Structure 1
Amino acid sequence: MKKRYFLLAAMIIGLVTAFIFIPKESSRPTLINPTLQESQREENGLDETEIQMNEPQPIPEGEPAENEQVQLPDRITEAIQNTLQFFRKETQVVAIGDSLTQGVGDETERGGYVGIIERTINWDRDIAEFSNFGKRGSRSDQLLSRLNNDEEMVSALAKADMILVTIGANDIMQVVKENITNLTIKQFVEERQVFERNLEEIINRLHELNPDSQIYLIGFYNPFERYFQDIEELQMIADAWNDTTNTLADQHENITYIPTDDLFHESEVNLLAEDNFHPNYNGYHLIAGRVLEYITNEES
């Protein structure tokens, strides 16, 4: 078992290291909805719409990126309508957390799931103002530190009507990095307890800054499922950490846990970026759709 974890750990470190040092392309294609006429886009002041809703389709080999038709699912149509009605003018939405909030892996470089939600909600008029404080590599202890020291983020959170949070994946990665030659389940269990304490403090700090804001804790997925399906412990670890987040959300008012792991199970569409760790645009689209579902279920 230790040997299997060692091999996995080596691959994880290699993937993360490679992704950090791969230079970004100077330009990226813009994904647009080809069903929206050019005149409509100009009239609405849009270069992309997120409102046409179909299941994501695999992109054929060799197809140019601008022909992608990655849309939110049909079942979100009514949810979008309710969301647009719920949001009053100048509603403040603040996103905090790690690389999933920052949008790392989104090949369009337009903000990942947060950017998709923003463009969806504000597709025909400015209804909500979004602030994104996602930071790549951020762990729970680092996010807690920022909640006490980052004045710009603290100020935005104090005014927020809604707070979106992704945190925890890098806490797991830290276990791998620190124990790469002797990785065991026990180490993940011990670190999960630390994560639980940090997350409890994060929640308390958010309530202290803004007791009236709606907070959404967004779970993470197992990015190694495709390549390590036989290592059941990996899914067990992801499930345990998500269960911790879900349990804490249930114990507090105005907090909702949003699962995402099921979105990445056995998908026929590639949902991961080139680093095989972060979501790509397809993956972020599914996350955005799930978040919108939960927002409307809670607020409509």
Structure 2
Amino acid sequence: MLKRWVLVTMLLVSSFLFYPPATAESPGEITYIAIGDSLTAGLGSSEENYLRIHGFVPQFTKYLREKNNVTVENYGIPGLSSTGLLALLNADEALQNRLKTAGVISVSIGGNDFLQTIRSVPEGEDETALNLRMEILKRTYQETYKLLRELNPDATIILLGLYNPYPEGHELTDLGAKYAPLFNGFIEEYGDESKTLVIDPYDTFEGKALEWTHIEKEDIHPNDRGYLEIVRLMKAAYERNLE
């Protein structure tokens, strides 16, 4: 009997030596789901072997993998508007089920609405119609965020704001400078909620449009440097949230 207890004790001790209990440093299991428009898809970033590994989703995934085992799913759809994203979330049951399992969800939406909005006002005309479109965008975003939280109350949700892609002297610079901050302002309120991070790239990109986007080719998407700056902001916010 005594020999049996000695053997059991030795087995227990060896199990802790070879298979130590999980600690805070042990890798976690995270499902990261990215939803949104062309920024989520990584448009504007350079390709390697036909993959846009310099977009913010691959780069942020690489960061998460420094301390976690990460499964990533990218649902970026170029040209997607806020109403399109809301319709997708309401209609796609499979996507809803995937979002319920996510530990991290990033959302980039509003850029196409922003473009349609500021381009809808002919020079010198009243901005009433433009303000109305911004109000519709605000309400659609509210519904989208509410749905995401209903699907997953516990995930860390990262909401990406807008920058002004137009440099000084461009015909749309002033409108961009007005309405990108308005959009960022109304998503900022979600940052007061637990596990919701709001990324505002406006100040970071100010004065850098020619360096960090493809605007010289009339393409508002970030280049590799621009995406790197977005990821830097995401990482900083995520790390603060862990503190």
Aligned to 2:43: 104
Aligned to 1:234: 176
2:212 is the alignment partner of 1:271: yes
Aligned to 1:173: 115
Q: Residues 87 and 127 of structure 1 are in contact (CA less than 8 Å); yes or no, is this contact kept in structure 2?
A: no
Aligned to 1:89: 28
Unpaired stretches in structure 2, ≥5 consecutive residues: 1-23
Distance 2:55 2:134 in 1: 27
Q: Which runs of 4+ in 1 moved over 6 A?
A: none
The structure-2 alpha-carbon separation of the partners of 1:272 and 1:165, relative to structure 1 and needing over 3 Å to count, comes to: same
Q: Residues 121 and 130 of structure 2 are in contact (CA less than 8 Å); yes or no, is this contact kept in structure 1?
A: no
Distance 1:100 1:258 in 2: 13
Aligned to 1:70: none
- Write the letter of the residue equivalent to 2:147: R
The structure-2 alpha-carbon separation of the partners of 1:111 and 1:188, relative to structure 1 and needing over 3 Å to count, comes to: farther
- Write the letter of the residue equivalent to 1:96: I
2:92 is the alignment partner of 1:150: yes
Bigger fraction of residues in strand: 2
Q: Percent identity?
A: 27
Query: Considering only CA atoms, is the larger Rg found in Structure 1 or Structure 2?
Result: 2
Q: Residues 188-244 of structure 1: CA distance to partner in whole angstroms, max 9, x if unpaired?
A: 211111111111111110111111111111111011134428953330111111101
Among candidates 203, 218, 226, match of residue 283 of structure 1: 226
Q: Residues 176 and 183 of structure 1 are in contact (CA less than 8 Å); yes or no, is this contact kept in structure 2?
A: no
TM-score computed with the length of structure 2 as normaliser: 0.78
Aligned to 1:224: 166
TM-score computed with the length of structure 1 as normaliser: 0.64
Q: Residues 188 and 237 of structure 1 are in contact (CA less than 8 Å); yes or no, is this contact kept in structure 2?
A: no
The structure-2 alpha-carbon separation of the partners of 1:230 and 1:137, relative to structure 1 and needing over 3 Å to count, comes to: closer
Distance 1:174 1:182 in 2: 17
Displacement of 1:280: 0.7
Taking only aligned residues, the RMSD between alpha carbons, in angstroms, comes to: 2.6
Equivalent pairs counted in the alignment come to: 214
Displacement of 1:88: 4.0
Q: Residues 242-298 of structure 1: CA distance to partner in whole angstroms, max 9, x if unpaired?
A: 101112443x44322111112212239721134431001111011011101100100
- Superposed, 1:14-163 pairs within 5 Å as 88-108=27-47, 109-110=52-53, 112-122=55-65, 127-163=69-105
- Superposed, 1:173-212 pairs within 5 Å as 173-176=115-118, 184-212=126-154
Distance 1:284 1:190 in 2: 31
Unpaired stretches in structure 1, ≥5 consecutive residues: 1-84
Aligned to 1:278, what secondary structure does the other structure show? strand
Aligned to 1:33: none
Q: Residues 33 and 106 of structure 2 are in contact (CA less than 8 Å); yes or no, is this contact kept in structure 1?
A: yes
Aligned to 1:49: none
Aligned to 1:14: none
- Shifted more, 165-174 versus 198-207: the winner is 165-174
Q: Residues 34-55 of structure 1: CA distance to partner in whole angstroms, max 9, x if unpaired?
A: xxxxxxxxxxxxxxxxxxxxxx
